[in-house]
Amino acid sequence: MRTITLLIIHCSATPQGVGLSFEDCRRDHIRHRGFSDIGYHFYVTRDGEIHRGRPPEKIGAHCLNHNRHSIGICYEGGLDARGQPADTRTLEQKASLLALLRELKCIFPRALIVGHHDLNPVKPCPCFNAEREYRGL
């Protein structure tokens, strides 16, 4: 197994009212980004369903210079209806993210939970302060 030091939270940058299913995200990553698969290890849709992407033992493609030692977790959303960055997580997504992160912290207890923005300040992703929100896990 890889050494995992980071659990990185992302958003799909999808506006409210617009859907981006797991399969749509996977297709986009393969067709438009040239990836072999979806770049994330987990994708959480608005209904709270957790979809498994790349297996955790495989390196993701979600955060430049940090893929080798991280797990990428993305939630559907992150933009308001006008296309501006916003925390658009549904209650179902918040509950699923919390449960998933608790499970991952049991497997990787030393891993830090951060948002994409914490590693690349140019990006607003995941559009909320993940480090602060999950600090107690």
Catalytic residue among 10, 29, 41, 62: 10
125 is catalytic: yes
10 Å CB burial of residue 14 (0-12, 13-18, 19+) is buried
Q: Catalytic one among 116, 117, 127, 134?
A: 116
Active site residue 116: yes
Known active-site residue 94: no
Catalytic residue check, 40: yes
Selection from 56, 107, 53 nearest residue 76 by Cα:
53
Of the listed 11, 29, 40, 134, which one is catalytic?
A: 40
The catalytic residue among 11, 63, 125, 127 is: 125
Q: Is 129 exposed, middle or buried (0-12, 13-18, 19+ CB in 10 A)?
A: middle
State yes or no: is 58 an active-site residue: no
Positions annotated as catalytic residues are: 10, 40, 116, 123, 125
